[in-house]
């Protein structure tokens, strides 16, 4: 298991970010059946930005993204989040963690299992952790973008 923590400044308030997560079917993908108990599952294309150049390259992977109930905290909220590939699942990491929103900050933290045993753990140190971090940044950025604009 590999630990992942990503933090990002948020343009939107926590209340708007919670709204965006509840409205995920409008911007992330359709809600599907067979979600874990208490979760809402969306069929989505997770994005991995490969470069930061203006003409950047993005890869997409069909995945299931699960959100739990939004739980208020003193200064924002937290929500359980998980994702896994919807096709060729054994070849891609499975992630489980939490998104926390406070004031104008979003964070995502949790654990993922690199595929492929020992070879997968070596690949994680070289490349997969970067991919997981960029995918998490993309998800937080999309949530904040939708929250700030108020549209899907």
| pLDDT of amino acid 53 | 57
pLDDT classification of 15: cutoffs 50, 70, 90: very high
The whole-model pTM stands at 0.86
**Which CATH superfamily includes the segment(s) 2-149?**
START domain (3.30.530.20)
56, with CB counted inside 10 A (0-12, 13-18, 19+), is exposed
Mind listing the pLDDT tens digit for each residue in 85-116? 887 666 577 899 999 999 889 999 999 887 76
Mind listing the pLDDT tens digit for each residue in 37-62? 999 999 998 886 655 555 555 567 78
C-alpha to C-alpha distance for 13 and 33, rounded to whole angstroms: 30
The residues spanned by each domain of the chain are: 2-149
- The enclosing H or E element of 59 equals strand 58-73
């Amino acid at each position: 298991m590999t630990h992942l923590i990503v933090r990002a400044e948020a343009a939107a308030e926590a209340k708007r970010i919670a709204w965006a997560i509840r409205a995920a079917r409008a911007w992330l993908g359709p809600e599907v059946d067979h979600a874990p108990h208490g979760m809402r599952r969306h069929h989505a294309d997770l994005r991995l930005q490969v470069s930061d150049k203006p003409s950047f390259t993005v890869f997409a992977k069909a995945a299931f993204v699960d959100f739990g109930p939004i739980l208020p905290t003193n200064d924002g909220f937290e929500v359980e989040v998980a994702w896994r590939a919807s096709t060729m699942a054994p070849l891609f990491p499975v992630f489980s963690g939490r998104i926390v929103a406070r004031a104008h900050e979003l964070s995502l933290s949790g654990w993922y299992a690199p595929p492929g045993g020992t070879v997968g753990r070596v690949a994680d140190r070289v490349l997969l952790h970067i991919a997981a971090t960029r995918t998490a940044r993309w998800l937080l950025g999309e949530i904040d973008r939708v929250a700030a604009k108020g549209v899907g």
